Chain A
C-alpha cells in the first residue's frame, strides 16, 4: 500500500506522530512539566533547613541508585534489558534533579545564600543548585540509604536490589502525593507512575530468575541475601523525617513496612525464593546513610560520578 491516496503511510514513525506537530519530530510530543503551575515557596510552618535535608535524602537515593543502574549500560544480559535498565536509571535521575533543585530552593529560603540559583532560568539543562549537590559534595554530605550505593553484583543481585528499592520508594512517593509541600506532592505524583513500572519490571524478572533454572535461582537467592541486611535502614526514620512527617510534609518510613511486606509476600513465593535469615547491617554508632555514614563502596562510586565535573568546574553542558 502506498500513501498516494492519503491513508496512513508505510513510514511507521510518520504514522505515529501527531497531526499538526512539526514533522521533523517523528515521535510523540506533548511532554509535560511536572512542576507546571506548582507553588514553589516553602510552605508556612515548615523548617526550610529540614526540608533541604529531606529533599537531599530522597534525591540522593535516586541519584546513587541511578548511577548503579547506569553502570549496567553495555553490560546487561540482553540488549532489551540494557535499554530497560537505562530507562529506569533515567527516570530516577529525573527525580533526583527535581529533588536536588528543591533542596537548593529550600536552602536558599533557609539561610539566604543557597548553592546557586535554583530557578529554571535558561529553560532546561542542569542548574547550578542541583549540579553543586551532585558533584561538589563530600561523601559525608550524601544522605542516601546504603542500599543504593552497594557494590554492583550480578544481574540477580541487581534485580533483587531494584525490587526492594522500588517497592520501598513507591510507598514513599505515594505518601508524598499528599504532602503539604506542593513541590514534593508533584514530584511524588510524577514518580509514582515511574516507580510502579520499575517495581513491575523487577518483580517480573525476580520471578523468572527464582522460578527458572537451578543456576538462576541460586543467584537470585544470593542477591536477595546480599542486600537484605540493608533493609531495616529503609524503614528507620531519621529525626528529620520524623519531624517533617509530623508536620505533614514527609513520608514516615516507619509506616511503610506493611505495604512493602505485602508486595514481597506476593513476589517471593511466586519466585520460589525464601526470605533471607540474616542480621541487619548496623551503622556506625547507630548512624547510617541518612546521617552521611556510608559503606566503602560509596567513595569509589562518588569518585566516578564526580571526577569529570571536578576536573573542570567551569564546564557547562
Chain B
C-alpha cells in the first residue's frame, strides 16, 4: 500500500543512476538536452524519458545518456577555454555571400 514496493531492500538503499535526456522535436534538426531523470538501466531510462519529457507532443526521437558518461568543461576554465576566440572575427565566414539555397549556416 505504501511507497516501499520497489525499494524493499531496506532503508538507505541507493537510488537509481542519473541519465541525461535529449529530444529531437518534430521539425528540429538535432537532439536538444531537455533534462535528466533516474532509471535503473537504459531501456527504463528511455521509457521514463518518454513519460516525463514528451507528454506535450514535443518529440519524435529520444536519446538517453548516462550522466556519468558526460565529461563537462568546468566554469573555472571558462576564460582559457572560450575567451581567446572572442576577438577572432575572421573565423566567421561573414565575408562571403551565402547563396540563398544554402540553409542552416
Residues of A that sit less than 8 Å from B by CB? 5, 8, 12-13, 15-19, 27-31, 75-81, 83-84, 87, 152-156, 197, 200-201, 204, 208-209, 213, 215-216, 219
State whether the Cβ of B101 lies closer than 8 Å to any Cβ in chain A.
no
A18-B25, A19-B27, A216-B8 given; name 17 further pairs at CB < 8 Å.
A5-B92, A15-B25, A16-B58, A31-B57, A77-B4, A77-B5, A77-B7, A78-B6, A80-B52, A83-B52, A83-B55, A84-B47, A154-B5, A200-B47, A204-B44, A208-B44, A219-B5
What is the number of contacts between chain A and chain B, taking CB atoms within 8 Å? 91
Residue of B nearest to A200 (CB): B47
- Cβ–Cβ < 8 Å partners of B92 in chain A: 5
Kindly list chain A residues whose C-beta atoms are within 8 Å of the C-beta of B27. Answer: 18-19
In angstroms, Cα B23 to Cα A104, docked, is 41
The smallest beta-carbon distance between A254 and chain B, in angstroms, is 33
Name the residue on B nearest A30 (C-beta).
B57
CA gap between A28 and B7 in the complex, in Å: 35
Question: Are B9's CB and A213's CB within 8 A?
Answer: yes
Q: Is the CB of B8 within 8 A of A153?
A: no
Bound form: Cα–Cα A67–B51 in Å: 19
The answer, among B2, B37, B48, B57, for a CB contact under 8 Å with A28, is: B57
Q: Bound complex: CA of A12 vs CA of B4, how far in Å? A: 34
Q: Evaluate contact between A28 and B25: CB separation under 8 angstroms.
A: yes
Whether A78 and B38, one on each chain, are in contact in the complex, defined by CB atoms closer than 8 angstroms, is yes
Q: Is B66's beta carbon under 8 Å from chain A?
A: no
Chain A minimum-CB-distance residue to B37 = A80
> Which residues on B sit within 8 Å (CB–CB) of A78?
6, 16, 38
Inter-chain contacts of B25 with A (CB < 8 A): 15-18, 28
Contact yes or no, B39 A75, CB < 8 A? no
User: Which residues in A have their C-beta under 8 angstroms from that of B1?
Assistant: 152-154
**Shortest CB–CB separation between residue A54 and chain B, in angstroms?**
31
Chain B residue, CB-CB nearest to A31: B57
Chain B residues contacting A13 (CB-CB under 8 Å) are: 34, 58
**A-chain residues with CB within 8 Å of residue B52 when the two chains form the complex:** 80, 83
